Structure 1
Amino acid sequence: MTKVLTIAMPKGRIFEEAADLLRKAGYQLPPEFDENRKLIIDVEEEGLRFILAKPMDVPTYVEHGVADLGIAGKDVMLEEERDVYELLDLKISACYLAVAGMPETKMSDVAPRVATKYPNVAAAYFREQGEQVEIIKLNGSIELAPMIGLSDRIVDIVSTGRTLKENGLVEYERIVDVTSRLIVNPVSYRMNDDRISELVSRLSKVVAEG
Structure 2
Amino acid sequence: MIRKLKEDKITVALPKGRLFNQTISIFKDAEILSEDLNSETRKLIIESKDFYFLLVRAKDVPTYVENGIADLGVAGDDVILESCPDVYIPVDLNIGVCSIVVAGLPESKEKYFSNPTSIKVSTKYPKITQSFFAEKGIKAQIIELYGSVELAPLVGLSDFIVDIVETGRTLKENGLIVIDHIRKSSAKLIINRVSYKTNKDKVYPIIEKLHKILKKGDQ
Bin the TM-score by the shorter chain. Answer: over 0.9
Instruction: Find out whether 1:99 has 2:105 as its counterpart.
Output: no
List, as ranges, runs of 4+ consecutive aligned residues in structure 1 with deviation greater than 4 Å.
107-110
Deviation track 1:124-152 (CA, whole Å, cap 9, x = no partner) reads 00000000011001111111110111110
**Counterpart of 2:135?**
128
Identify unmatched segments of 5+ residues in structure 1. none
Equivalent residue for 2:182, pick from 172, 175, 178: 175
How far apart are residue 25 of structure 1 and its match? Answer: 1.3
Give the alignment partner of residue 29 of structure 1, picking from 35, 40, 54. Answer: 35
For structure 2, the 5+ residue unaligned runs are none
**3-state SS of paired residue (1:14):** helix
Counterpart check, 1:191 vs 2:194: no
Residues 1:39 and 2:44 are matched in the alignment: yes
Deviations 1:33-64 (A, max 9, x none): 22222111111x2x200001111100011000
Instruction: Say yes or no: does 1:18 pair with 2:18.
Output: no
Q: Which among 146, 153, 157 is matched to residue 146 of structure 1?
A: 153
Superposition map of 1:55-66 within 5 A: 55-66=58-69
TM-score, normalized by length of structure 2? 0.91
State TM-score, norm by structure 1.
0.94
1:114 maps onto 2:154 in alignment: no
Deviation at 1:110? Answer: 5.7
2-structure distance, mates of 1:192, 1:109:
51
Alignment correspondent of 2:56: 53
Q: Distance in 1 between matches of 2:68 and 2:215?
A: 29
Q: Distance in 1 between matches of 2:211 and 2:116?
A: 48
How far apart in 1 are the matches of 2:116 and 2:74?
40
Identity in percent: 46
